[in-house]
A and B are shown apart, each in its own frame.
Chain A
Amino acid sequence: GAVVSQHPSRVICKSGTSVKIECRSLDFQATTMFWYRQFPKQSLMLMATSNEGSKATYEQGVEKDKFLINHASLTLSTLTVTSAHPEDSSFYICSAPRPPGGTDTQYFGPGTRLTVL
Chain B
Amino acid sequence: EDQVTQSPEALRLQEGESSSLNCSYTVSGLRGLFWYRQDPGKGPEFLFTLYSAGEEKEKERLKATLTKKESFLHITAPKPEDSATYLCAVQAKGSSNTGKLIFGQGTTLQVKP
Interface size on A, residues (CB 8 A): 27
Give A106 to B44 CA distance when docked, in angstroms: 10
Residue pair A109, B43 in contact (C-beta under 8 Å): yes
Q: Which residues of B contact A108 (CB under 8 A)?
A: 36, 43-46
Which B residues, 48 to 77, have Cβ-Cβ distances below 8 Å to chain A? 49, 51
Q: Does B78 contact A (CB under 8 A)?
A: no
With contact pairs A93-B44, A111-B43 given, residues A101 and B87 touching in the complex (Cβ less than 8 Å):
no
Q: Is the interface on chain B under 10, 10 to 19, 20 to 34, or 35 or more residues?
A: 20 to 34
Q: Chain A residues near B49: list those with CB within 8 A.
A: 103, 105
Chain A residue numbers with a CB within 8 Å of B42 are: 110-111
| Residues on B with beta carbons closer than 8 Å to the beta carbon of A95 | 43, 101
B104→A111 contact, CB < 8 A? no
Report if B41 contacts A (CB, 8 A).
yes
The answer to whether B34 touches A34 (Cβ under 8 A) is no
Tell me the dominant secondary structure on chain A's binding face: strand
Q: Are B103 and A44 in contact (CB under 8 A)?
A: yes
Which of B41, B46, B102, B105 is close to A105, meaning CB atoms less than 8 Å apart?
Answer: B46
Q: How far is the CA of A70 from the CA of B44 in the complex (A)?
A: 23
CB <8 Å contact, A102 and B98: yes
Q: Does B79 contact A (CB under 8 A)?
A: no
Within the complex, the shortest CB–CB distance from A30 to chain B, in Å, comes to 10
Task: Tell me if A113 and B97 are in contact (CB < 8 A).
Answer: no
Q: What separation, in Å, do the CA atoms of A108 and B38 have in the docked complex?
A: 10
Whether A32 and B98, one on each chain, are in contact in the complex, defined by CB atoms closer than 8 angstroms, is yes
Given the complex of chains A and B, what is the CA–CA distance between A102 and B91 in angstroms?
A: 9
A40 closest partner in B (C-beta) = B40
5 A-B residue pairings within 8 Å (CB atoms): A32-B98, A108-B36, A110-B43, A111-B41, A111-B42
A contact residues vs B (CB 8 Å cutoff): 4, 6, 32, 34, 42-46, 49, 57, 91, 93, 95, 97, 101-111, 113
* B binding-site residues for A, Cβ under 8 Å: 31-32, 34, 36, 41-46, 49, 51, 87, 91, 96-106
Closest 9 CB pairs of A and B: A108-B43, A103-B32, A111-B43, A49-B97, A43-B103, A97-B99, A108-B44, A43-B105, A110-B43
